[in-house]
Structure 1
């Protein structure tokens, strides 16, 4: 870690929120057994790798060719951790794919090595029931784009789903307010509230904090600023692929 990290490099570090979410998965593996999972903003791929010890299919997504190359390398060298964890014959499967929150459509350009096939898109919408994101809430515009993206994806899923989000409140002293603030965290909480208040007649969202009372398996400092949130998305009508 460095004292300052540029926005384009944040995904190349493993943040405490990823360790926290991985710890939750390890402590609650029964919740994810055999699931199809979508991780957004996966970065180094740590959380997807841990999830692959119990889930069946994981779509591990981010943007940026350098970052995604690194993520794929991490997944390959750690395959021994999850390769036979789910099924003795085949193991689980992690697919590294591009998911740009600033675009409305999934990338299907075959010149992109991390594009989606039609079969994968169908599998995503037909079978996904868990979504993950670890500590991706540090820029208000990206946070807005994230929530717009998950709303769009959830509107196309056939199954009820649960979203798990980790976040770390980062304190900053601002001259504008002459006080210590958590502006990025405050914006995240506003977006959570907006999501829960959506009444579109399609999906009901239930937002709940998760108590951090589960054991710590991984080596990191579980500071009091770390939080874990669960969003339950219940379709009110039958969703179809668009």
Structure 2
């Protein structure tokens, strides 16, 4: 197999592997690309590579394995599943997520495309997070923050959300990925690196936000209705006021699902005097989100600027 053919085959295999581990729907797999590759003269070598990568151990399966498989097939379908997202280092972020888009009255129990896109951007731009304290607003299942913790080496990371079921799942996912979880004490140099905070945007105070001493604030896919958007801008204004001399840099990622998505947010940012600029799109897809999704990352500067807009 020629070097360029080998590189293309490797990329295709990785695409299948990433989607499989992330439990993506079968129609999202690159079947057409696979069919085209198999039709090439080197297609038999690709097929052999697939079989060698996923071949079974050259012994007869144990009866216990068949029994375990039977138990799985007969079991009641679970409302939770585990998904793994591979990192460039070879490590992965493994999450317990809901199998339903809406569960327990929230959409925060699954990973959304903008969270994957923001995590991908962070991995490609680690200097924005290295040795800094990061506060994530609306962490959901925790994919973005866990990817940053594993690949960007922040000094501390504060996950936050306000829904009880989301917080429970989030704490479990932090532990699942090997991080300890204790109370956050920013003045104690020996304090744990990772924590989960119950943070309601409508009730949080400036003093509570200031205590986090965040250098960077991130949020992904949180602009899903006007009420939530206004609450988010309220939090950003408080962050700007309570840390005026050292206000954090903010990155907000969202998927443009309609013409109105993001418009209210930008309008309210300009009304609040918060400078914003769109982060240039990055090349090379790492995670299995919808390739044709229109996803935007805005970088916000909460102090030191009086002009708004790009």
Q: Which of these residues, 180, 190, 193, is aligned with residue 93 of structure 1? A: 193
- Per-residue displacement from partner, 1:72-101 (whole Å, max 9, x unpaired)? 100111127xxxxxxxxx897121001101
Q: By how many angstroms is 1:154 displaced?
A: 2.5
1:85 alignment partner in structure 2: none
Q: Following TM superposition, where does structure 1 have runs of at least 4 consecutive aligned residues deviating by more than 6 angstroms?
A: 1-4
Q: Which whole-Å deviations, capped at 9, do the CAs of 1:105-153 have from their partners, x for residues lacking one?
A: 38xxxxxxxxxxx9x86641xx311110000111111111111112112
- TM alignment of 1:80-229, pairs within 5 A: 93-105=193-205, 123-124=211-212, 127-157=213-243, 158-171=245-258, 182-183=259-260, 185=261, 188-199=262-273, 205-229=274-298
Cα distance in 1 for partners of 2:119, 2:129 equals 12
Task: State the TM-score, normalizing by the size of structure 2.
Answer: 0.57
- Distance in 1 (alpha carbons) for counterparts of 2:101 and 2:133: 35
**CA contact 1:52–1:92 (8 Å) conserved in 2:** no
Distance 1:91 1:78, change over 3 A: farther
Instruction: State the secondary structure of the residue aligned to 1:213.
Output: coil
Secondary structure in structure 2 of the residue aligned to 1:58: strand
Q: Tell me the equivalent position of 1:84.
A: none
Q: Which residue of the partner structure matches residue 67 of structure 1? A: 166
The number of residues matched between the two structures is 195
Number of the residue aligned with 2:113: 16
Contact 1:56 1:92 in 2 (8 A): no
Q: 1:98 to 1:75 in 2, by over 3 A?
A: same
From 121, 124, 128, the equivalent of 1:27 is 124
Max radius of gyration: which structure? 2
1:175 equivalent in structure 2? none
Structure 1 counterpart SS, 2:253:
strand
The structure that is helix-richer by fraction is 2
Larger strand proportion of the pair = 1
Give, in whole Å, the separation in 2 of the partners of 1:2 and 1:66: 14
TM-score after normalising by structure 1? 0.71
C-alpha distance in 1 between matches for 2:133 and 2:285: 25
RMSD of aligned C-alpha atoms? 2.6
Instruction: Tell me the equivalent position of 1:79.
Output: 178
1:55 to 1:122, Cα distance in 2 relative to 1, 3 A: same
Structure 1: distance between partners of 2:122 and 2:132: 12
Cα offset for 1:52? 1.3
- C-alpha separation in 2, matches of 1:167 and 1:121: 23
Cα deviations by residue, 1:57-83 (Å, 9 ceiling, x for unpaired) = 111100122110100100111127xxx
Change (3 A) 1:5 1:76: same
Question: Which secondary structure state, in structure 2, belongs to the residue aligned with residue 219 of structure 1?
Answer: coil
